[in-house]
Amino acid sequence: GRAEPTVAWQIDTYGHSAAQAALSAQSGLKGMFFSRLHYQEYEKRKQERDLEFTWKSTAGNDTIFSSVLYQGYNSPSGFCFDTTCTEPAIVADPESPEYNLPQRLDSFLEILRDQAAHFRSGHIMLTMGGAFAVQNARQYF
């Protein structure tokens, strides 16, 4: 069979055309994720739990579900595991003196709960990475 995408991700756009919602909806897309928008708009949407919304086209009646990524496409703070990062590794071996799985898991879940609190649906896209953050995929994942 053939696959038809229904959701898009604008990974690193700087600005959005007023016609983007119409073009996306008319091409068959049902959803759009993006990360870059003016910082004041981002903060306002974050505080008002409006990071997900129906983007209404100015060029007609087209709409598309849209969601702003919480921290761009970066990993949650404290959870970058690449060679360029300084966060502590997750040590899952209970016999290790550096065992930290329960604490790291609690921290990770706290970050996710905080992120979900800024979205009306409570659904989030968890991104793991960032610009130039995955230099060593084997180590990272």
Determine contact, residues 108/87, Cβ cutoff 8 Å: no
pLDDT tens, per residue, the chain with 141 residues: 888 899 998 877 777 777 888 889 999 999 999 988 889 999 999 999 999 999 988 777 889 999 999 988 888 988 988 888 888 889 999 999 999 999 999 999 999 999 999 999 988 888 887 777 777 777 766
Q: Decide if 12 is catalytic.
A: yes
Whats the size of the chain, residue-wise?
141
Q: 130 and 72 in contact (C-beta within 8 Å)?
A: yes
pLDDT computed for residue 115 by the predictor = 92
Out of 12, 62, 93, 106, which one is annotated catalytic?
A: 12
Quote the pLDDT of residue 141. 67
- What is the 3-state secondary structure of the chain? CCCCCCEEEECCCCCCCCCHHHHHHHCCCCEEEECCCCHHHHHHHHHCCECEEEEECCCCCCEEEEEECEEEECCCCCCCCCCCCCCCCCCCCCCCCCCCHHHHHHHHHHHHHHHHCCECCCCCCCCCCCCCCCCCHHHHC
Q: pTM of the entire structure?
A: 0.79
